[in-house]
Structure 1
Amino acid sequence: MYWLCLILAGLFEVGGIINLKLAEGFTKLKPTILFIVFLCLSFFFLSVSLIEIPISIGYGIWTGVGASGSVLLGMFLFKEPKNAKKLILVAGIIFSIVSLKLIS
């Protein structure tokens, strides 16, 4: 259950960051509200996951899911540049996330 909460926390973080982009400096109400809701949910699920998962592992995975998810969605939703270097680096983040899970 704690690992599921951690993954949900990371996914909600990605949703929050995407809505932060869509909020355009907090000038658009709906994405601004969604940003706040998603980030609150992200912190809630992160806090629940840290009941059982060590903070060194939990925080690393949470930020890794958020970072890699944001990079990938930025490329696909916002047409940000895609190149082999960026994809290799994101793969490295994902490899690190999986490795952290395996050692815990």
Structure 2
Amino acid sequence: MAWVSLVLAGIFEMFGVTMINKVNKDKSLLSIILLMVGFGCSFLFLALAMQSLPMGTAYAIWTGIGASGGALLGMVLYGESKDWKRLLFIFMVLAAAIGLKLVS
């Protein structure tokens, strides 16, 4: 269950990052509320995951999902660069997170 919570935390982190971009564009109350909900849920699920998982592993995987997911969402939703080098480094972040899972 801790790993499910951690993945959910990462997904909500990606949502929160997406909402930051939306708030910068339209500054509506709904966008601000969604931003707070996204990050609030992210921290809640991270805290739940850290009840069973080591802090270093949980935090590294959470930030890996958030960073790589945010970069991928930027590519898909906002037309950011899809250069192969950028994709390679995103893959490396994901590989490191999977490696932490395998040794934990």
Q: Does 1:44 align with 2:40?
A: no
Cα offsets for 1:36-77 (capped at 9, x unmatched): 001000000000000000001000000000000000000010
Name the CA distance, whole Å, in 2 between partners of 1:18 and 1:25. Answer: 11
The question of 1:69 aligning with 2:73 is answered no
5+ residue gaps, structure 2: none
- Bigger drift between 22-31 and 88-97 goes to 22-31
1:83 equivalent in structure 2: 83
Matches within 5 A, 1:1-104: 1-24=1-24, 27-104=27-104
3-state SS of the aligned residue for 1:52? coil
More helix by percentage:
2
Measure, in 1, the Cα distance between the counterparts of 2:53 and 2:77.
32
Distance in 2, matches of 1:8 and 1:73, equals: 16
The two structures have a TM-score, normalised by structure 2, of: 0.96
Whether the 8 Å contact between 1:26 and 1:32 is mirrored in structure 2 is: no
Segment of structure 1 superposing worse, 86-95 or 17-26: 17-26
**Larger mean Cα displacement after TM superposition, 28-37 or 82-91:** 28-37
**Aligned alpha-carbon RMSD (Å):** 1.1
- State the alpha-carbon separation in 2 of the partners of residues 69 and 97 from structure 1: 12
AA in 1 matched with 2:91: A
TM-score (normalised: structure 1): 0.96
